[in-house]
Structure 1
Amino acid sequence: MGTALIVGAGPTGLTLACSLARQGTEVRIIEKSTGFQTSSRGKALNTRSLEVLGDLGLGDRLLAAGRTSLPFRKYFDGEFVADSDPVATAGSAPDSRYPFGLFIPQWRVEGLLREQLAGYGVEVELGTELADFSQDEHGVTAVLTDGRQITADYLVGCDGGRSPIRKRLGIPFEGSSDPEQAMVCGDVEVEGLDRGVWHQWFGAEGALLLCPFEDSPKWQFQAAPERDASGAMVEPSLESFQRIFDRYAGLPGVRLHNATWLSTWRVNVRMAERYRVGRVLLAGDAAHVHPIAGGLGMNTGIQDAWNLGWKLGHVLDGLAGPGLLDSYQEERLPIAAWTLNLTSAALATINESVRTPGVGLEAGRTDDLTGLGIDYRWSALSDDRLAGPLRAGDRAPDAPLESPEGVGTRLFDLYAGGRFTLLSFGCPAPEIGPAVRTVAVEAGPGSFRDPDGHARRAYGVERDALVLVRPDHHVALTVPASDSGAVRDYLATLGR
């Protein structure tokens, strides 16, 4: 059994640590800060991230800690325009348990991930900073600032947009920055505003957004920065936030107080040229940064970790060859490029649209923001031999089923746990081995039932067929039911 060292205990590092620890991999996660961060930062999980964290066992706790619906209250030049609810039309769907996103501050997501990780006996090592590292064909040696050393088989840098690990590797961080296109952000308490809506003031000068959080006195403040007489940006402070609020909102009875996070965000659109150098890998903001439009920052990092986690676990457990790790960059780097383009376009649309009365943040929304449409059809791990509507590399849809005992369940409940799953439609599931769970659907006595045909329709299966699903819920292989040998061959050569 190998070991992994994760540097950085934000959502990306914690998701990766949970994924590895659940697989039984020895993992350490270090964080240079002496305390856990309490600022909101990212404030929403999209549908795909909810599926990911739900698989890790956090679904119900996340839903209890956030809110699935938050109406937008829009103003223009200080006057109320309209209320709208972008997710009001979302309903249940057979192919996803979460047909919505979740408004939840990043600190709360991190707390629940740490709680889950502690259940595996792993704690974040606070106040532990990486000073340097070296690697050879046998592993990685990390040197801490206090002189201690940690040896591991692999090192993963989840250490943010300024990643010292990326810089130490000499990996270019390509893209552009616009320091003049900026936003001030913070967490404040507000007296005199309705906490049931996200207040959004727009006008010719820009925007002010105040978003409340569930079961917390805090609101997230976002606005165009205040500028002095020379045109220079004023550093964020409670006093500058109050002046900005008074200028945009014109509500003299509303006071801001107890600011606990003050920050200036500037537009950076960059991505790492590579995600892996030998035994060292990058994930999350260390690998890519992009505009905040669409709220994809925290989500993209979580989904990086989800893609990497099962692969690194399989390599460390000897279930796959080290070549499997090459597919991490192959699959996730194009997704980062797509995300940079999507969020840059959304930000440009929002910047233009908010100058029109009644138009707000919805202008930058697309269905792509759910994350459900992300696929890896181009990947070397995708082997499609049925050529149906659902292709190898696509996200494997969820669907309701009925167990052999007549109990309702869902495919994603059967997929959970970090293993491959072989779906056998219309025929008994072949024995593949202990590393693969098998699920026979409508294959006679003892199989799962698909009473409404949701599973067959979702997977585009008309005849008897086998569908191999990866631990991250993407389709690996589709073959006719008679070709179980192809499944064994796929797994035997994985990453080798």
Structure 2
Amino acid sequence: MNETGIDGTGTGGTGTGGTVDVLIVGAGPTGLALGIDLARRGVDALVVERGAALAPGSRGKGLQPRTMEVYEDLGVLDAILAAGGPYPTGTVWQDGRRTGEHRIFDPVREGEEITRFTVPWMVPQWRNQEILRARLEELGGTVAFGLEVVGVDQDEDGVTARLASGEEIRARYAVAADGGRSAVRRALGIAMTGETVDPDPLLVADVRIPALDRDLWHVFPPGDGGAGYASVCPLAGTEEFQVTARFPEGTDIDLSPDGVRAAIAERTHLAPGDVTEVLWSSDFRPRAALADRFREGRVFLAGDAAHIHSPAGGQGLNTSVQDAYNLGWKLGAVLRGRAPRALLDTYEEERRPVAEHVLGLSTAIHRDEARRGAGTRQLGLHYRRSSLSEETRPAPGTLRAGDRVPDLTVDGVRLFDLLRGPDWTLLTLDDGVFLVRPDGHVGWAGESAAGAAAYRERLGLDGPGAGGERSFSAVTVRG
């Protein structure tokens, strides 16, 4: 077997001696976001994708407020804002007439945190991926297409990924971001535990319907004739709609253009000919499943490879991107000699409970047992129980160790402007001193800065790194 190179010459990857620091399997939002986070830290990462191009289709189209904050830090926010738009108001149709409004998301209520981003932002997943790829390549990262990983072997020094072609890629660490049917997860023998959320299969398709109003999200309840539910949502930044249609259990859905047109005509007042183009279509059965563990040695699971959601709550893609955001700074710190390998143990410790919680929320929303409210915005997710979170104040304030630092402006200074970038920040506010992790969560909180050094020593942080990059910066903001 050969060690493959991204240029197909068999000379190795992008790293020295044919070994990359991190091999990321899968070029969806998870893998691309992780690639960006590693690239800006100077980590030699290679993203491989079995397809010949980025995956098509709108799929996960909603970006929650917390993901928008992550994207701001990763340097893609302006492009994401330009590419998308807010969600439209829903309108309910019955017998060819509009019969009422349908509120997709609960409004922000009094007392909830006010941030720059308060509601989801719509960007079709294919466009989201294009933006992430462009940013990765701007930072010097690479996506190699047509490389299918079918197995992995490990030893004390790294991981060897075996490709369908018979070639191999060598890496110090690997991350499986290859989706719900992850070949890497199966190769590792990691099971998923879950349930069928809804036995009825769903069709999802991207289409063009010039005759339909693009200012509204069109909702069609099940009809008297037996046709199932459908929704037709205009995709922001495009001329397309995303169509979702429910079918009876056991249906073999026709994904052809004619089949998609027929499904729309059966459930709406539209004729088949009103659908002028069918650009992409797929079917799925809503499931909720969680990997039994998120790590096997030097291989980590992230995104759909680790947790599968119903799309109803708009949580899957967002939870996946935040997996990457959590893992990226930890891999970077270990690979650059700034933290011990034990830091990597906290990835599963922190992210698996979050994924389990969010899975329950997604399922409840699918079953109309919960609303799309504050919980879906993901601003309140925290790591208070993590071994990385140390709260030393006898009377903690609102902001505690493990919490996400809020998007506040204090004395004319926006906190996020101080925290942006790949480093830790020692932040002094009126209610305490906070050592803020690179992902914007508080690691240590105290009444003065005196205990911060002991916290860093306990975790083995701030070791000898390369490149002279700061690992810690200190700022004082008084309200």
TM range, smaller chain: 0.7 to 0.9
Partner residue in 2 for 1:374:
381
For 2:245, which of 223, 230, 237 is the aligned residue?
223
For 1:49, which of 67, 79, 83 is the aligned residue?
67
1:309-356 C-alpha deviation (Å, 9 max, x unpaired):
111111111111111111111111111111121111111117xxxxxx
Q: Which amino acid aligns with 1:223?
A: A
Asked whether the 8 Å contact 1:325–1:495 carries over to 2, the reply is no
* CA distance in structure 2 between the aligned counterparts of 1:154 and 1:399, rounded to whole angstroms: 36
1:156-206 C-alpha deviation (Å, 9 max, x unpaired):
000111111111111111112368321111111112101111111113554
CA deviation after TM superposition for structure 1 residue 495, in Å: 6.0
1:213 corresponds to 2:231: no
1:210-243 C-alpha deviation (Å, 9 max, x unpaired):
111233222111011278xxx7433233223323
* CA distance in structure 1 between the aligned counterparts of 2:311 and 2:106, rounded to whole angstroms: 23
For 1:27, which of 45, 49, 69 is the aligned residue?
45
1:423 corresponds to 2:427: yes
TM-score, structure 1 as length reference: 0.83
1:59-88 C-alpha deviation (Å, 9 max, x unpaired):
121111110241112223543122355569
Partner residue in 2 for 1:432:
none
* CA distance in structure 2 between the aligned counterparts of 1:396 and 1:163, rounded to whole angstroms: 33
Asked whether the 8 Å contact 1:396–1:474 carries over to 2, the reply is yes
For the residue of structure 2 that corresponds to 1:476, the secondary structure is strand
For 1:345, which of 352, 364, 372 is the aligned residue?
364
Partner residue in 1 for 2:80:
62
1:322 corresponds to 2:341: yes
For the residue of structure 1 that corresponds to 2:201, the secondary structure is strand
Residue segments in structure 1 that go unaligned for 5+ positions in a row: 351-362, 403-407, 426-455
CA deviation after TM superposition for structure 1 residue 132, in Å: 2.2
Asked whether the 8 Å contact 1:129–1:145 carries over to 2, the reply is yes
- Which has the larger displacement, 387-396 or 21-30? 387-396
CA deviation after TM superposition for structure 1 residue 247, in Å: 2.7
1:106 corresponds to 2:125: yes
- Which has the larger displacement, 15-24 or 59-68? 59-68
Asked whether the 8 Å contact 2:232–2:244 carries over to 1, the reply is yes
Asked whether the 8 Å contact 2:105–2:373 carries over to 1, the reply is no
For the residue of structure 2 that corresponds to 1:199, the secondary structure is strand
* CA distance in structure 2 between the aligned counterparts of 1:77 and 1:266, rounded to whole angstroms: 28
Asked whether the 8 Å contact 1:226–1:244 carries over to 2, the reply is no
Partner residue in 2 for 1:115:
134
For 1:475, which of 427, 438, 442 is the aligned residue?
442
For the residue of structure 1 that corresponds to 2:72, the secondary structure is helix
Q: Which amino acid aligns with 2:437?
A: R
1:203 corresponds to 2:222: yes
* CA distance in structure 2 between the aligned counterparts of 1:35 and 1:226, rounded to whole angstroms: 33
* CA distance in structure 1 between the aligned counterparts of 2:214 and 2:231, rounded to whole angstroms: 13
For the residue of structure 2 that corresponds to 1:349, the secondary structure is coil
1:255 corresponds to 2:259: no
For the residue of structure 1 that corresponds to 2:367, the secondary structure is helix
Asked whether the 8 Å contact 1:188–1:261 carries over to 2, the reply is yes
Relative to 1, partners in 2 of residues 1:89 and 1:365: Cα closer, same or farther, differing over 3 Å? closer
* CA distance in structure 2 between the aligned counterparts of 1:123 and 1:182, rounded to whole angstroms: 36
* CA distance in structure 2 between the aligned counterparts of 1:142 and 1:241, rounded to whole angstroms: 39
TM-score, structure 2 as length reference: 0.86
* CA distance in structure 1 between the aligned counterparts of 2:113 and 2:271, rounded to whole angstroms: 48
CA deviation after TM superposition for structure 1 residue 252, in Å: 4.1
CA deviation after TM superposition for structure 1 residue 35, in Å: 1.5
Partner residue in 1 for 2:474:
none
Relative to 1, partners in 2 of residues 1:33 and 1:253: Cα closer, same or farther, differing over 3 Å? closer
1:423-456 C-alpha deviation (Å, 9 max, x unpaired):
123xxxxxxxxxxxxxxxxxxxxxxxxxxxxxx5
1:268-302 C-alpha deviation (Å, 9 max, x unpaired):
21110100111010000000102111111111110
For 2:288, which of 269, 272, 275 is the aligned residue?
269
* CA distance in structure 2 between the aligned counterparts of 1:8 and 1:329, rounded to whole angstroms: 19
For the residue of structure 2 that corresponds to 1:203, the secondary structure is coil
Asked whether the 8 Å contact 1:55–1:413 carries over to 2, the reply is no
Relative to 1, partners in 2 of residues 1:242 and 1:364: Cα closer, same or farther, differing over 3 Å? farther
Identity over aligned pairs, percent: 39
1:490 corresponds to 2:455: yes
For 2:257, which of 229, 233, 238 is the aligned residue?
238
For the residue of structure 2 that corresponds to 1:493, the secondary structure is helix
For the residue of structure 1 that corresponds to 2:229, the secondary structure is strand
Partner residue in 1 for 2:99:
81
- Which has the larger displacement, 152-161 or 35-44? 35-44
For the residue of structure 2 that corresponds to 1:4, the secondary structure is strand
- Which has the larger displacement, 182-191 or 78-87? 78-87
* CA distance in structure 2 between the aligned counterparts of 1:118 and 1:24, rounded to whole angstroms: 13
1:365 corresponds to 2:388: no
Asked whether the 8 Å contact 1:69–1:85 carries over to 2, the reply is no
1:389 corresponds to 2:398: yes
